[in-house]
């Protein structure tokens, strides 16, 4: 079974930015907008121009958990929103092929454990990665 539904993959492919939440060694939360790339195996790579020197990269090295949210407003008139939250184990990797021109060879890779989506495949759903949707 795949990690993401076809609708979720289509949605993620249509977006360019998400927000990555990490936690430092003292338990302080940091949240930043980031570029992202979904890999064929269902992992999500977070990239940037100098990723290896960032606090979020250091946070993942110290506390390898993360949450990543991609969302948008389909219609402000009816307040129709959609999005996806990906929670999971995170890795701070070096020496990787840069995911886009001008990006560094350091990435954060998220291995999804829990996926929560809304407005994509219907009502809000929550599931363990790779398992069928069940209503949250």
Task: Say if CB 119 and CB 11 are below 8 A apart.
Answer: no
Q: What span, in angstroms and rounded, lies between the C-alpha atoms of 24 and 17?
A: 22
Express each pLDDT in 64-76 by its tens digit. Answer: 999 999 999 988 8
pTM of the model: 0.90
Express each pLDDT in 60-103 by its tens digit. Answer: 999 999 999 999 998 888 888 999 999 999 999 999 999 999 99
> Per residue in 37-76, is it b (16+ CB within 10 Å) or e — as a string?
bbeeebbbbbbbeebeebebbbbbeeebebbbebbeeeee
Radius of gyration of the chain measured on its C-alpha atoms: 15
Class at the top of the CATH hierarchy for domain 6-131: mainly beta
Q: What span, in angstroms and rounded, lies between the C-alpha atoms of 51 and 79?
A: 34
């Amino acid at each position: 079974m795949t990690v993401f539904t076809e609708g979720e993959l289509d949605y993620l492919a249509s977006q360019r930015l998400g927000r990555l939440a990490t936690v430092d060694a003292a338990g302080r939360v940091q949240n930043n907008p980031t570029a992202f790339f979904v890999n064929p195996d269902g992992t999500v790579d977070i990239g940037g121009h100098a990723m290896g020197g960032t606090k979020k990269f250091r946070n993942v090295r110290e506390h390898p958990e993360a949450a990543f949210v991609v969302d948008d407003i389909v219609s402000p008139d009816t307040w129709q929103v959609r999005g996806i939250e990906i929670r999971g184990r995170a890795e701070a990797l070096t020496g990787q092929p840069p995911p886009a021109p001008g990006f560094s060879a350091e990435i954060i890779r998220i291995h999804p454990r829990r996926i929560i989506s809304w407005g994509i495949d219907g009502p809000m759903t929550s599931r363990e990665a790779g398992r069928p949707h069940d209503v949250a």
